[in-house]
Chains A and B, each alone.
Chain A
Amino acid sequence: MNPEESIADLTVRELLNGVASREVTPSGGAVAAVGGAAGRRCAR
């Protein structure tokens, strides 16, 4: 994941792939942030 890019701007698919491929360090906090960002995209 490009660190200059907000995860809230990515598509849900990109978020899922980021976690699956460990582009995002899969600590609980990082995964929660990705889940929250995915939720934000779905809810908007």
Chain B
Amino acid sequence: MTCVHTLAGVDDESGDDADTGDGDPDGRIAELRDSEGELAECRSDLLALADEDVAAVESLQSAFAAADAVDDESVQRAAEHATEVPLETAGACRGVLGAAVVVTDAGAPNAIPDAGTGASLAHAGLQAGVWTARSNLPLLDDEEFVAEARERGSDLQTAGANLVDHVAANVRETW
């Protein structure tokens, strides 16, 4: 929404192709156009991941119902998949946050709080993805998988916190 409103305003002022020539000396409008496309891809990816997560949880529940023990191979594979999907979701949310930094750096001031809202929700999604993934780790026997998942989660949380702080600082500058 911030991209749409900001770019509409730029196009209204300049007629067309505001991202070329003198209309965009520091390249911020071009970055905003890139972010708009990137965010559309993120939205599509996240909707697909929502479906994938539902399927992963259902598979895990089916594996639990059919297995004799947690260390059953089918449970282990299902739990690994149910860990991978939320980590991928958290990664996609990090992508949204990265784009939100660009958008709140360059967007129209009156639309920046909307980008801040989106970034806050994306940060919640990132956090939720990591929490969900970590909740599965005690089930898993593969220590290498567990260590890698734990590290990915920590890296995502650190990156997400830094990005959402940057977005929040940009939002505060509009007050």
Known: A20-B43, A35-B121, A35-B124. A27 touches B50 (CB 8 A): no
* Chain A binding surface, main DSSP class: helix
Find chain A residues with CB under 8 A from B120 CB.
32
How many residues does chain B have at the interface if contact means C-beta atoms less than 8 Å apart? 14
Contact (Cβ within 8 A) B43 A31: no
Q: Restricting to B117-153, which residues have a CB under 8 Å from any CB of A?
A: 117-118, 120-121, 124
Contact (Cβ within 8 A) B116 A28: yes
How many A-B contacts at CB < 8 Å in the complex?
29
Closest CB of chain B to A41's CB: distance in Å?
13
Interface string of A2-25 (1 = CB under 8 A from B): 000000000011001100100000
Known: A20-B43, A35-B121, A35-B124. A28 touches B50 (CB 8 A): no
- The residue in chain A whose Cβ has the minimal distance to the Cβ of B43 is A20
Contact (Cβ within 8 A) A16 B117: no
Contact (Cβ within 8 A) B50 A31: no
CA distance A27 to B47 in the complex (A): 19
Select one of B46, B47, B51, B121 contacting A31, CB under 8 A.
B121
CA distance A35 to B120 in the complex (A): 10
B residues with CB within 8 A of A: 1, 43, 46-47, 50-51, 113-114, 116-118, 120-121, 124
